[in-house]
Amino acid sequence: MSELEKRTLGKSQLEVTRLGIGLWAAGGGQWGATDDRESLNAIDAALEAGINFFDTADVYSDGRSEELLGRAMKGRRDRFIVATKIGWVNYDGERGRTAYDTVEKLMAGVETNLTRLQTDHVEVIQSHIDHRDPTMEVFVEGFQRLQDQGKVLAYGVSTSDLDYLKAFNGDGRCATLQTDYSILNRTAEAEILTYCQQNDIGVIVRGPLAMGILTGKFGPDVQFHDDDWRRRWIETPEERDIFMSDLAKVERLRPLAKGRTLAQERTLAQLALQFVMSHPAVTLAIPGAKTEKQLRDNVKAALLPPLTAEEMATIDAITPRGGGRKIWPA
């Protein structure tokens, strides 16, 4: 298998593979039941394929995702570039603010991230709050102090809000943005990706498969497990109408996915990843992978060439540039 291309992650100077792995589903939680052994096997398969970037968060499965990644890193920490997030635990919805309202609380919170990960540092720490709340300055100062201590090498924010990103990068030290971007959600193309290019901010794309919609495995009668947050797509008329519209777009994409020579045969999911990684502002994509097979299929997409102008024109006709809708905010 060919070697995965690497790119510099903004001003962090970290050399990351064009494809990483998102570990939201690891440990279960909002994606229904998962198997720890399969999650660990997927991480092993990622390493074997040359992937070096692993993204998690304190809130994923109540910390279980970080714990699993910590187990996987034992004895080989140098092979992992770790990005984690903090902010949503104990979030006060009524007041619209995170529990980390002082620098000291924020720094202590990151220490719990490190404890679960069984490491003394992470390469990237990110604010998981997707909008500007009264604690934004606390996060920036706390991250910078941790950076000075060597406990984080770079910091960034997870958001689809351009104004919040600009505020977070007020002194020019923000190194990364994690944002939702896919064929079904091209809103980042309007302004946010250009801003990142102009300010040397590395772009980490979450949701490149639109939480599974762009795999083509869902139909109008799909049922989600009671613990799966995606049940919202089918439980209310408004959400269901949007979901049905997305499924119709996926059907229009199927011929494009198959319209290749046998040597370049690809799945819908691979087309979706190829689309995201074709954008010059994108540093890497972090699709989830619960199993080794899913991981290996994702890697194949990272080895495909950029989309052609003709293929992009077909996608533009289905979802116009800068259009679509946010699948998941943060």
| Terminal alpha carbon distance of the chain | 33
Residue 56 CA to residue 25 CA, distance in Å, equals 9
Q: List Cβ neighbours of 23 (8 Å cut-off, separation of 6 or more).
A: 39, 43, 54, 55, 56, 60, 65, 68, 69, 288
Relative to beta strand 202-206, strand 282-285 is: parallel
91 is catalytic: no
62 phi/psi in degrees, rounded to 5? 55, 40
Residue 283 CA to residue 14 CA, distance in Å, equals 11
Number of H helices and E strands in the chain, helices first, is 11, 10
Q: Are 175 and 9 in contact (CB under 8 A)?
A: yes
Which tokens sit at 62? 């109540």
- Alpha-carbon distance values, 162 to 82, 98, 135, 138, 285 (Å): 25, 20, 17, 19, 19
Task: Work out the number of other CB atoms within 10 angstroms of the CB of residue 47.
Answer: 16
- Among residues 140, 175, 179, 143, which one has the least CA distance to residue 161? 179
In the chain, alpha helices (H): 36-48, 64-73, 103-117, 136-148, 162-168, 192-198, 232-235, 237-258, 268-277, 292-302, 309-318
Give the active site residue among 60, 100, 155, 164.
60
Q: Quickly list DSSP for 123-158.
A: EEEEE---S--TTHHHHHHHHHHHHHTTSEEEEEEE
Q: Is the dihedral of CA 221, 287, 259, 327 positive or negative?
A: positive
Using DSSP's 3-state secondary structure scheme, residue 1 falls into: coil
Residue holding tokens 């034992």?
Answer: 74
The residues carrying an active-site annotation are 60
